[in-house]
């Protein structure tokens, strides 16, 4: 099919760069770009995070926020005693 297309200056620069890099014709560069842009996305393998058993918790995590607050309080008291 033969048609007239008006390219924006930035797109023209990209096509010309592709022509130089691939040593291909204008027609091939435009067709390759259109194919790549309109092709359905390739299916990727889902990302999986490996998990490891760390054993039983050494602290009761049901009250983790309480534990963090108590540790923070201890640090504040330590700094106050040190005059910081």
Q: What angle do CA 14, 26, 22 make, to 5 degrees?
A: 70
Tell the residue number behind the tokens 């393998």, with chain if given.
45
pTM recorded for the entire structure = 0.48
Q: Nearest-CA neighbor of 33 among 9, 16, 47, 51?
A: 16
Rg (CA), the chain: 31
**DSSP secondary structure of 39-62:** SPPPP-PPP--------S-SS-GG
- Under the banding of pLDDT at 50, 70 and 90, the label for residue 84 is confident
- Under the banding of pLDDT at 50, 70 and 90, the label for residue 14 is very high
Q: Is pLDDT of 41 > 90?
A: no
Q: Is pLDDT of 38 > 80?
A: yes
């Amino acid at each position: 099919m033969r048609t007239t297309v008006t390219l924006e200056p930035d797109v023209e620069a990209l096509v010309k760069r592709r022509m130089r890099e691939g040593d291909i014709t204008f027609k091939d560069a435009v067709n390759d770009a259109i194919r790549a842009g309109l092709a359905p996305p390739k299916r990727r393998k889902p990302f999986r995070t490996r998990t490891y058993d760390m054993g039983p918790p050494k602290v009761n995590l049901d009250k983790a926020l309480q534990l963090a607050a108590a540790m923070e309080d201890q640090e504040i008291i330590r700094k106050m005693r040190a005059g910081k």
